[in-house]
Structure 1
Amino acid sequence: MDKQELLNIIKTKITDKILSFESLIDETRASNNDTKSSMGDKYETGREMLQQEINNLQRQLNESLNQLSVIRKISAEPSDKVQTGALVKTDKGLFYVTVSAGEIISGSQKIMTVSAESPLVKAMLGKKSGEEFLINNIHQKITDIW
């Protein structure tokens, strides 16, 4: 498994999200400016709803920026135990301990990106190939770590 390629895929995915959020914020701000009027409370309510949407988008943008910051610090070096930056194969799936960015496809492999803060990673943190762990009453065995 080429972990550097996987990191690049995740960086691209997060960068695309950041650009999308920035664009949505700009569009929503433009809409907010369009609704300025002295027509009464109805427009003030609409403007407040748009402001809440901008705040929500800004929060999501900040989360994505934080994810990008974390990704930039992750090394593609091989790991011998489960830790941040490890690519872990269990009998139930393939997991990349980075940030939670959803599923990525590399070749014919489906890889779930998971945050080090997730319950799954906390259950297998520090374990090595061949060890087992339990999460949600499901036993999993680590078969390989890169």
Structure 2
Amino acid sequence: MEKSKILEIVRNKIIEKIQKFENLIAETRASSNDTKSSMGDKYETGREMLQQEINNLQRQLNETLGQQSLIHKINGEPSLKVQNGALVKTDKGLFYISASIGEIVLENQKIMTVSAESPLVKAMAGLSKGQVFSINNVNQTVEEVW
């Protein structure tokens, strides 16, 4: 399985997420400008709620931009141990260590994208083929690292 294809899928999903957040922020700002009213306190409450929504979307956008920055540092080179950018097969599943964007499917195989900060990756960090680790009292064996 080509890691470069997986990396490209992850990059594209992050770009889509960034565009979605930028569009939502722009739409929310536009609706904020449209809420002009002579209702006094209700007007201010509505504007404050919209501003909180903008702040929430901005926070999510910043997190996604951080994921994008991390992804740009990953190359498609083979890995010998579990680290950022590695594709890891355990007896429980296939994991791509990069940004956590959920499950992707490539060549009819489900691959879970996980962050290097996740408990799973922390438990298996630095391991290589054949080594065993435990998470939540469940042992897993690293079957392959690409």
Task: Give the TM-score normalised by the residue count of structure 2.
Answer: 0.98
Partner of residue 110, structure 1: 110
Question: C-alpha offsets along residues 70-95 of structure 1, whole Å, 9 cap, x if unaligned?
Answer: 00110110011101111000000000
Partner of residue 15, structure 2: 15
Matched, 1:77 2:80: no
Unaligned runs of 5+ residues in structure 2 are none
Partner of residue 49, structure 1: 49
Q: Give the distance between the partners of 2:86 and 2:10, measured in 1 at CA.
A: 14
Write the mapping of 1:1-146 to structure 2, written as runs, cut at 5 A: 1-146=1-146
User: Cα RMSD (Å) of the superposition?
Assistant: 0.7
Q: Give the distance between the partners of 2:97 and 2:39, measured in 1 at CA.
A: 53
Q: Give the distance between the partners of 1:60 and 1:36, measured in 2 at CA.
A: 27
1:31 to partner: Cα distance: 0.5
1:40 to partner: Cα distance: 1.1
Amino acid aligned to 1:104: I
Task: Give the TM-score normalised by the residue count of structure 1.
Answer: 0.98
SS of the aligned residue for 1:14 comes to helix
Question: C-alpha offsets along residues 83-141 of structure 1, whole Å, 9 cap, x if unaligned?
Answer: 11110000000001111111111011000111111110000001110000000111100
1:36 to partner: Cα distance: 2.3
Number of residues paired by the alignment?
146
Q: Percent identity?
A: 68
SS of the aligned residue for 1:83 comes to coil
Q: Give the distance between the partners of 1:21 and 1:57, measured in 2 at CA.
A: 6
Q: Give the distance between the partners of 2:121 and 2:45, measured in 1 at CA.
A: 43
1:32 to partner: Cα distance: 0.4
Q: Give the distance between the partners of 1:8 and 1:83, measured in 2 at CA.
A: 18
